A and B are shown apart, each in its own frame.
Chain A
């Protein structure tokens, strides 16, 4: 048997030199006359070990990492192609604690299969959910999804089945499935990883959504900052079309469904669903007032399901194994699994899919190993740029939509950025306002003007100008933004700002001025 070598071409692995490693391995196998198949897989999501190379031998898969091009010669010397030991040996990747502790449902195949091989996808359980769906009545598919307890993984946590039901019952000569792949939140990369590592699961999820609601056309709106994900999705759609997974007869059924990949143009606000719809229509990505809901009047005024990548990619397993199977994971009203993205200043950053219910502290300390710098952890921002900064005193909060809401935070798209003790929380609060000012679509005043005034007022606090009065002003401004903004950009910017002020008052205290005055 020819040996199989897996070298990820996930953007994260590429950023750490995977392309050079792949070239060096190809050269070395050629020079040594070894017959080997190189598979460019997705990432398993352990970025401190990337580029992680895996070899498939008689003993199963054996991993090595982090591999540099300079290590290749010694790996061949050590005979790594038969799984031999080397100082970069990691053994069976599935036994690495970070991976062994996970429950991978949505990411079951990511990092394991060849992302563009439909045969691989099928061999690892792919298309079973869609095969079940084409044999079911649309209303039954919708009730399965409702029953599973799946809630929108993009951030809002709205029950997916209820959204689908609205579209199913809406009247329209055309309906659309729109996949929101405008993953602009810092600390989040789950959408990117699944699109690069297992694109067919998203295609399958969208096709199921189409059949369930009577939509025949789907769009995947991917941000332009993700060129690798765009290329992968485009190729995967083409392959799915040729294989009859997409087209006029989905899997040979009478259902038609096709997908088009669209590229954003660098506007963070287009991750907001109504801006995204405007952008797809070729307009400025300005937020629309709701109602009407997109489910009733969405893309081009037609009933539209708009879901996040992970929500849609979680549907195939629900349709394969049943609602009860999925619902069995999690707690309270947060059912199933969530791909937590551990980012920033951590030893072990990456993707950790698990049932809801872990505490923030378990993630930051046990799983991520604390700060990469070895200093103590000062804060964790959960939920991206619009999420709250939590101090270690709140690290007992469980990953659960309601538990975070109860502590004035949000899970969002489940990205967690860890900061060490050198972080200046006034600076972070200022950045939240500045980012809102840069990215505001300009439609509503609290967001458009409030963010700019917010930056100015925080600057005054930093300069020691009437700090108490200005802190009161920022608080009042945040209140106006929170309740007066049209969408989550202006409405949630107060979360990072107010949490920084509330939990890290020392960073806003006047003494900073004396130090800075030098």
Chain B
């Protein structure tokens, strides 16, 4: 019963969003961003609504959603921690930062902790290459991630 309610609600909210953005040239990415902002992920139930409104196939919408790293199939944890793993950060020990945080949080990349508190992801460049290694916690940027910063991140996530 609950599932049924959720489905109709997702469909209704998706339809409203699509109606708002449909006029754009090439509206699919802005629509998908809107849906992810709305639900925290891109629910499967939203796809047929989009396909119908844009007059494209379900497969096309699915193909686009699955192509881009940003779109989530399921909700993330309450916090999202992204750790840069690109070259400039590598030169300053980003692999050590990642392994410390993995050990402290008990999860790996692309995983969410069992209590749902945090999702950890690699990111390939935040444009903070002159203050590497870097990370982003819930949209907050952190440069020169050192031991203290790692402790602070873990502390913030335990709250």
Contacts and interface: CB of A to CB of B under 8 A. Distances in A.
A344 B125 contact: no
B130 interface: yes
Contacts, number: 150
Contacts of B130: 12, 47-48, 189, 341-343, 346, 349-351
Interface in A348-383: 349-351, 372, 381
Contacts of A268: 124
Interface in B14-71: 24-30, 32-33, 54, 63-64, 67-71
Contacts of A262: 29-30
Contacts of B87: 186-187, 344, 381, 384-385, 417, 428, 431
B130 to A, nearest CB: 3
B127 A11 contact: yes
Contact of B127 (A188, A342, A344): A188
Contacts of B30: 262-263
Please indicate which of the listed interface residues A14, A227, A343, A385 has the most CB atoms of chain B within 10 Å of its own CB.
Answer: A343
B69 A187 contact: no
Interface string A51-65: 000000000000000
Given A265-B68, A266-B68, A300-B26, A431 B127 contact: no
A187 B129 contact: yes
A225 B125 contact: yes
Given A15-B141, A188-B127, A284 B67 contact: yes
Given A227-B139, A263-B33, A265-B32, A344 B88 contact: yes
A282 B27 CA distance: 6
Contacts of B92: 344-345, 372
A186 B129 contact: yes
Nearest to A423: B91
Contacts of A131: none
B134 interface: yes
A68 B156 CA distance: 20
Nearest to B129: A343
Contacts of A439: 124
B90 A431 contact: yes
B142 interface: yes
Contacts of A417: 87-88, 91, 129
B143 A15 contact: yes
Contacts of A438: 124
A186 B89 contact: yes
Contacts of B127: 11-12, 183, 188-189, 192, 225-226
A265 B125 contact: no
Contact of A189 (B26, B27, B33, B128): B128
A270 to B, nearest CB: 9
A473 interface: no
B133 to A, nearest CB: 10
Please indicate which of the listed interface residues B27, B70, B142 has the most CB atoms of chain A within 10 Å of its own CB.
Answer: B70
Nearest to A389: B87
A16 B67 contact: no
B132 interface: yes
A23 to B, nearest CB: 14
B70 A265 contact: yes
Interface residues of B, number: 40
B64 A283 contact: yes
Given A266-B69, A283-B64, A15 B128 contact: yes
A186 B88 contact: yes
Please indicate which of the listed interface residues B29, B67, B88, B127 has the most CB atoms of chain A within 10 Å of its own CB.
Answer: B127
Interface string A415-455: 10111100100001001000100110100000000000000
A215 to B, nearest CB: 13
A280 interface: yes
B107 interface: no
A37 to B, nearest CB: 25
Contacts of A114: none
A279 interface: yes
B26 A265 contact: no
A267 B67 contact: yes
Contacts of B134: 15
A267 B70 CA distance: 8
Interface in B107-151: 123-132, 134, 139, 141-144
Contacts of B126: 11, 15, 225
A285 interface: yes
Interface in A257-314: 260, 262-268, 279-286, 300
Please indicate which of the listed interface residues B24, B67, B134 has the most CB atoms of chain A within 10 Å of its own CB.
Answer: B67
A217 to B, nearest CB: 8
Given A224-B70, A264-B29, A372-B92, 19 more contacts: A47-B131, A48-B130, A224-B33, A263-B30, A265-B29, A265-B33, A265-B71, A267-B69, A282-B26, A283-B28, A284-B67, A343-B88, A343-B132, A344-B91, A349-B129, A349-B131, A385-B87, A417-B91, A423-B91
Interface of A: 11-12, 14-16, 47-48, 50, 183-189, 192, 217, 224-227, 260, 262-268, 279-286, 300, 341-346, 349-351, 372, 381, 384-385, 415, 417-420, 423, 428, 431, 435, 438-439, 441
4 closest A-B pairs (Cβ-Cβ)?
A282-B28, A349-B130, A15-B143, A343-B129
Interface of B: 24-30, 32-33, 54, 63-64, 67-71, 86-92, 123-132, 134, 139, 141-144
22 contacts: A12-B130, A12-B131, A14-B141, A47-B131, A186-B86, A187-B129, A189-B128, A224-B33, A225-B123, A225-B125, A260-B24, A264-B68, A265-B33, A265-B68, A265-B71, A266-B68, A345-B92, A345-B132, A349-B131, A384-B87, A385-B87, A428-B90
